[in-house]
Structure 1
């Protein structure tokens, strides 16, 4: 059990104001980590910080748009300089699918999905890896999706699926480059999760029954269930694991 403890470690989480990011912040805090939340606005960060405080945890916060590589690099440098070494990075920031047929996806929407979900994850990993590689230690967890493994139905989301599949392979590639230099990189690939991002689909009387028909456990996941997988991969309990995509999908990809 000691290998699951994160006492004295500092963890940075992107997109941490709500949803899976906030649940991950709570899970890592409960394990003893000192967490740093980043998100797009002070409002999101204030909400996340308040939720953690209500559970008895403290957090540092930084406004960050992960689609701006210069800002990501600068923020990583500020965190290292002001707070100290970063041990864990959770590249969680993401944008949900938009039900648009492939032939009608406009250029801006395609680029936006790739920019947030893929580029943002890479800029984050790259920026924080530089110091981790110097120290020859660190753990990173990216957020993929079961949609990076299968093509969901009935919604049309070629842009989202493509971005998440790329995140999976990016994770493997980074893991291969950095394995001998002490930095592990893994990915969690969730199913539909009961968060604000999935709320429209969960409340859709036509869409949701189809989701459940295709899910062996007949339910969506909770954010804390995804956070548990993230905690495991970030901890020393997963010290021999790198380049893995841990699927947390209530069985969706079985069929």
Structure 2
């Protein structure tokens, strides 16, 4: 193994990827398998999750599995982590990536809609992170967690109205820092990434006028690709980041820089 491969190797590690059936989760899961990790896909979409796990196994030869899970159900989260531990023969890392977005004015969003976004994006990530940390501590293992926040946790997006999403992602950044400080004594690192506008299933079908405006506001003048997030996630989960915790890496084509 070359020095470069050693720096970013996940060989011998097993990673849980939430929201891994499609989009960013699927792309990053595939790249992590390519650098040595076994992959456990956690996703509400059971059939898609299974297809993704099988595809990653076929293309990389790594061990994979798929689990149908609602991350907003804390009891289910605990049960599935236990099951994945047994079937994968141990877990080491978590890419905490499940999330939803609602484009709706704060004047019109209902309490139920607000609660759903917060429940998935914030509570779901918290339940996964906290139960995974308990798992690691209970096994006497060190490990790492990478949460998915967003540039929307740093700025207010425009022209779409999405206060619920922005609030949830800002909270993820602060939660990441808080958990990092609490868990460091047990050898558990917690970091997050804040993607900008990425071309995925969540963005490609929205209002074309919004998309044009987003590109005008992004100095790079284009969408990011999910592949452009892989390096940040792999770094944060790898042993190369052994002194990096409580950090948020913004990957946004300079959007938040201007």
What is the TM-score of this pair, normalised by structure 2?
0.94
Distance apart, 1:133 and its partner CA: 2.1
- Aligned partners of 1:175, 1:206: CA distance in 2, in Å? 39
From 51, 55, 70, the counterpart of 2:55 = 51
Aligned to 1:240: 243
- Aligned partners of 1:151, 1:57: CA distance in 2, in Å? 42
- Aligned partners of 1:224, 1:211: CA distance in 2, in Å? 20
- Aligned partners of 2:44, 2:141: CA distance in 1, in Å? 30
Aligned to 1:102: 106
From 190, 198, 207, the counterpart of 2:210 = 207
Tell me how many residue pairs correspond in the alignment: 252
Are 1:149 and 2:154 matched, yes or no? yes
Aligned to 2:174: 169
From 184, 195, 205, the counterpart of 1:190 = 195
Aligned to 1:24: 28
Aligned to 1:80: 85
- Aligned partners of 2:183, 2:103: CA distance in 1, in Å? 37
Aligned to 1:39: 43
- Aligned partners of 1:24, 1:205: CA distance in 2, in Å? 27
Corresponding residue SS for 1:71:
helix
Q: List runs of 5+ in structure 1 lacking aligned partners.
A: none
Distance 1:48 1:163, change over 3 A: same
- Aligned partners of 2:55, 2:65: CA distance in 1, in Å? 13
Deviations 1:184-221 (A, max 9, x none): 000000011111011123xx331112101110111111
Aligned to 1:230: 233
Distance apart, 1:80 and its partner CA: 1.7
- Aligned partners of 2:113, 2:23: CA distance in 1, in Å? 22
- Aligned partners of 1:51, 1:192: CA distance in 2, in Å? 26
- Where has structure 1 moved over 2 Å in runs of 4 or more? 53-58, 81-85
Q: CA-atom RMSD, angstroms?
A: 1.3
Distance 1:205 1:62, change over 3 A: closer
Are 1:61 and 2:66 matched, yes or no? yes
Are 1:114 and 2:141 matched, yes or no? no
- Aligned partners of 1:8, 1:62: CA distance in 2, in Å? 21
Are 1:125 and 2:119 matched, yes or no? no
Q: List runs of 5+ in structure 2 lacking aligned partners.
A: none
Distance apart, 1:136 and its partner CA: 4.2
